[in-house]
């Protein structure tokens, strides 16, 4: 796990589920926010616990700095009481793409039940700009703050424009 890095990613809605999803690795994720401005997030995925602090988005939402700190279960439980939002609950499927990339397909549960989006992380801005999305990806929402997890948990699923 990188403790301090720059995250470069693009985010899309989902038009249809990809073939072979049942064969992909799946993470059960629960996350909440101690703060949404600045973003200070607690995330549990399976048996891992992480505190993340995110910087402001740059380059039309393509990149931002991110600091991640692994937590013990006990630390996570104590900090969870400090969250100002409800929990985001989702299943994240890690779908292999061409060129060694991975699509992180999130299928939401609880109050966001049925909502889906997908993110792809890149090693460079050039790689992100040149990315050709697969057919199952829907409209791109990179940089649209309404589709951040912090906004989804606070305001619900956005109405499409």
Q: How many domains does the chain fold into?
A: 1
Residue 160 within any structural domain of the chain = no
**Residue 161 within any structural domain of the chain:** no
Q: Which residues are catalytic?
A: 33
pTM (2 d.p.): 0.90
- Quick check: helix, strand or coil at residue 123? coil
Q: Is residue 69 part of a domain?
A: yes
How many residues comprise the chain? 161
CB of 48 closer than 8 Å to CB of 111: no
From CA 161, how far away is CA 152, in angstroms rounded?
16
Name the DSSP class of 103.
Answer: E
Q: Give the tens place of pLDDT for each residue, 70-87.
A: 999 999 999 999 998 889
What are residue 151's phi and psi, to 5 degrees?
A: -70, -40
**Which carries the bigger pLDDT value, residue 160 or residue 107?**
107
Inside any domain, residue 52: yes
pLDDT in tens, 7-38: 899 999 999 999 999 999 999 999 999 998 88
Closest to 117 (Cα-Cα) out of 85, 146, 83? 146
- Tell me which residue range forms the domain holding 111: 4-155
Please count the other Cβ atoms lying within 10 Å of the Cβ belonging to residue 2.
9
Q: The domain spanning residue 86 has which CATH number? A: 2.40.320.10
The whole-number pLDDT of residue 61 equals 66
Per cent of the chain over pLDDT 90 is 78
Examine residue 145 and state whether it is found in any structural domain, yes or no: yes
């Amino acid at each position: 796990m990188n403790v301090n890095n720059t995250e470069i990613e693009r985010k899309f809605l989902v038009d249809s589920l990809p073939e072979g999803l049942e064969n992909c690795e799946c993470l059960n994720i629960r996350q909440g926010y101690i703060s949404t401005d600045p973003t200070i997030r607690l995330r549990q995925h399976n048996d891992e616990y992480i505190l993340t602090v995110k910087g402001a988005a740059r380059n039309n939402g393509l990149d931002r700095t991110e600091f991640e700190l692994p937590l013990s279960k006990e630390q996570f439980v104590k900090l969870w009481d400090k969250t100002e939002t409800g929990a985001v609950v989702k299943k994240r499927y890690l779908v292999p793409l061409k060129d060694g990339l991975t699509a992180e397909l999130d299928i939401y549960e609880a109050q966001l039940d049925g909502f889906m989006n997908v993110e792809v992380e890149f090693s460079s801005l050039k790689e992100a700009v040149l990315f050709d999305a697969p057919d199952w990806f829907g409209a791109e929402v990179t940089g649209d703050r309404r589709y951040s997890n912090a906004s989804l948990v606070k305001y619900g699923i956005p109405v499409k424009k």
